[in-house]
Amino acid sequence: MNNKDQVRVRFAPSPTGPLHIGGVRTALYNYLFAKQQEGKFILRIEDTDSKRFVEGAEEYIEEAFNWLGLPFDEGPTAGGKYGPYRQSERKDMYRLYVNKLLNAEAAYIAYDTAEELDAKRKEINNFQYDASTRMQMRNSLSLSKEEIEELIEKDAPYVVRIKVDPNIDITVNDLIRGEVIINSSILDDKVIFKSSDQLPTYHLANIVDDHLMRITHVIRGEEWLPSAPLHVWMYKCLGWEDTMPQFAHLPLLLKPEGNGKLSKRDGDRLGFPVFPLEWTDPTSKEISLGYRENGYLPKAVVNFLALLGWNPGHDEEIMTIDQMIDLFSFDRCSKSGAKFDYEKAKWFNHQYIQFTSDKDLEKQLRPILEKNNVTASEEYAEKVIALVKNRANFIEDLWEQGNFFFEAPIEYDEKTVKKRWKEDTPQHIAQLIEVIESIADFSSENQETVVKKWIASNQLHMGKIMNAFRLALVGASKGPHIFDITALIGKQETIERLQRAIETINKE
Ligand code: GLU
């Protein structure tokens, strides 16, 4: 493949806050397609709207993709020969294309003040600045040469608007939606540049950069579909038809109930994150939940997101990133929105916890252990993980399910005590201690054989003994196989816990 044909895709977020999980899905599809085509995956920061700029948002984006394991080939941090990759650092480049459009009379200068525009909106229902209204406005098309000279003399603030000719069918070729034909009369003469900050707007900067960065495919959310005809129009005005990227507009991520776009409020309402990482708003200090902090494994998040709007053509849902890269295709991206199913996200995470080595899980559990002042060795923690991971959906669950391996119970679940600790229990447990003391081979299997033999030969009730035994070890009626617990905590600790149970349960 020569360089000219190389696929180049970009993820182009505006750093206006934490990155929504829908944006992560967009980036992921860009990544899958780029890797499949042996192309480049580029990060471009669209920060020309200084009013909406939020401190820390760009760093957040980079950190999120590092965590997810989706590295950019080019970008502000990765570098690359088409940089700079922040639009705020490309300011000077845009002016050239504004002038090009003005010279070609494909754009014009408008002097209307905010008040004048407001008044017009009041006067005309559904007012739109376009071919049908522009001559009623104050711009370089409607004003006389003298009037314009006077405005230039006064240094009057202005904007540059793109001049969209009416009644032309504009075709957007979309890899997911096919041909989308829009009549130009419904488009308005969008502002492409403002003199007040000397900055281009999204529409101009976006297509100029796609052109200069040799972008071949624009893969983005459906919410940008309405901008596409204008972008196609602008490509034509700039004489760039031949290098116009192909479009693919991805379906929306919908609320779990399916009515409308998934929002942060849905996450708050239903208790799940809609952002990859936790985010603290720099002004309000409000905290938004993140998948990372909520105990998700990045691979599970990637797998889950890949299937929200695309299907691999088979029923197997668990896929490695290489399989996804292999199978990705726009043909199997859906046109309609994908319902966000949080239970499914949990299911994926549960599956991935099972595939992850105990060693890797231990690394993620360690901060939680430290928070709980547990100093157990890695080896010990890994053994605990092996025993409890099949009950865990999240890293935090490894602690919830296995905490008693690290610290003896200090209290006993009341309901379980009532049900499982009878008058004669202390006496049986005292005998059990003697049996345990006598066991030399403390493997799970051997303990089980010996204890069960003792129960049978003394005609004791198996369930009764075992349930009380568990209560003494765990403090509740949960946990893995009893003899796996005792084998791991060891003989000494087992006996101490049994003794403590006899001494404390029902003794208040
Ligand atoms: N800056 C836009 C955004 O925030 C980019 C849209 C596009 O990909 O063209 O999503």
Domain identity same for 435 and 464: yes
CATH number at residue 381: 1.10.8
Domain identity same for 97 and 201: yes
Has residue 121 been placed in a domain? yes
Would you say 395 and 364 are in contact if contact means Cβ atoms under 8 Å apart? yes
Domain identity same for 380 and 420: no
Domain identity same for 147 and 224: yes
CATH number at residue 425: 1.10.10.350
Across 216-311, where does the E strand assignment appear?
A: 217-221, 246-250, 253-254, 279-280, 287-288
Closest ligand 1 atom to residue 206 Cα is 9
Domain identity same for 376 and 436: no
End residue of a domain, out of 208, 223, 250: 250
Between the CA of 500 and the centroid of ligand 1 the distance, in Å, is: 63
Place of tokens 């990765």: 78
DSSP state of 259: S
Would you say 70 and 11 are in contact if contact means Cβ atoms under 8 Å apart? no
Place of tokens 């391996």: 405
Has residue 286 been placed in a domain? no
Between the CA of 31 and the centroid of ligand 1 the distance, in Å, is: 16
Pocket of ligand 1 (CB under 6 A): 12-14, 46, 202, 206, 218, 220, 224
Q: Ligand 1, from 20, 206, 215: best to mutate by most atoms within 8 Å of Cβ? A: 206
Has residue 364 been placed in a domain? yes
Q: Pick from 236, 239, 234: which is nearest to 200 by CA?
A: 234
Give the number of other CB atoms < 10 A from CB of residue 402. Answer: 25
Distance, CA of 381 to chain centre: 29
Between the CA of 203 and the centroid of ligand 1 the distance, in Å, is: 9
Q: CA-CA distance, 436 to 492, in Å (whole number)?
A: 9
Has residue 342 been placed in a domain? no
Query: What are the residue ranges in the chain where pLDDT is below 50?
Result: 1-3
Of all protein residues, whose CA lies closest to atom 6 belonging to ligand 1? 12
Has residue 44 been placed in a domain? no
Q: How many separate domains does the chain show?
A: 3
Domain identity same for 374 and 429: no
User: What is the domain range of residue 384?
Assistant: 356-397
Q: CA-CA distance, 17 to 58, in Å (whole number)?
A: 8
Domain identity same for 393 and 477: no
Per-residue confidence (pLDDT) for residue 4, from 0 to 100:
54
Q: Which residues is 170 bridged to in the sheet? A: 182
> What region, left, alpha or beta, does residue 214 occupy, with left being phi > 0 and alpha being psi -120 to 50 degrees?
left
φ and ψ of 129, to 5 deg: -80, 100
Would you say 466 and 374 are in contact if contact means Cβ atoms under 8 Å apart? no
End residue of a domain, out of 397, 423, 454: 397
Has residue 214 been placed in a domain? yes
Per-residue confidence (pLDDT) for residue 2, from 0 to 100:
43
Q: Where are the alpha helices (DSSP H) in 307-410?
A: 321-327, 342-355, 358-371, 378-388, 395-402
Which residue in the list 40, 163, 264, 389 is annotated as catalytic? Answer: 264
Closest ligand 1 atom to residue 202 Cα is 1
Q: What is the pTM of this model?
A: 0.90
Respond yes or no: is residue 419 known to be catalytic.
no
CATH number at residue 180: 3.90.800.10
Q: Ligand 1, from 58, 202, 203, 231: best to mutate by most atoms within 8 Å of Cβ? A: 202
Q: Where are the alpha helices (DSSP H) in 37-144?
A: 57-68, 91-103, 114-123
Per-residue confidence (pLDDT) for residue 186, from 0 to 100:
96
Has residue 486 been placed in a domain? yes
Of all protein residues, whose CA lies closest to atom 2 belonging to ligand 1? 13
> Cβ contacts of residue 286 below 8 Å, gap of 6+?
280
Has residue 73 been placed in a domain? no
Domain identity same for 444 and 468: yes
Domain identity same for 420 and 392: no
Instruction: Give one DSSP letter per residue of 298-322, joined into a string.
Output: HHHHHHHHHTSSB--SSS-----HH
Between the CA of 272 and the centroid of ligand 1 the distance, in Å, is: 25
Q: pLDDT per residue over 153-208, tens digit each? A: 999 999 999 999 999 999 999 999 999 999 999 999 999 999 998 999 999 999 99
Q: CA-CA distance, 33 to 70, in Å (whole number)?
A: 12
End residue of a domain, out of 229, 250, 271: 250
| Residue 507 amino acid letter | K
Domain identity same for 456 and 482: yes
Q: Ligand 1, from 45, 48, 85, 224: best to mutate by most atoms within 8 Å of Cβ? A: 224
Domain identity same for 487 and 370: no
Would you say 475 and 411 are in contact if contact means Cβ atoms under 8 Å apart? yes
Domain identity same for 483 and 431: yes
Between the CA of 14 and the centroid of ligand 1 the distance, in Å, is: 7
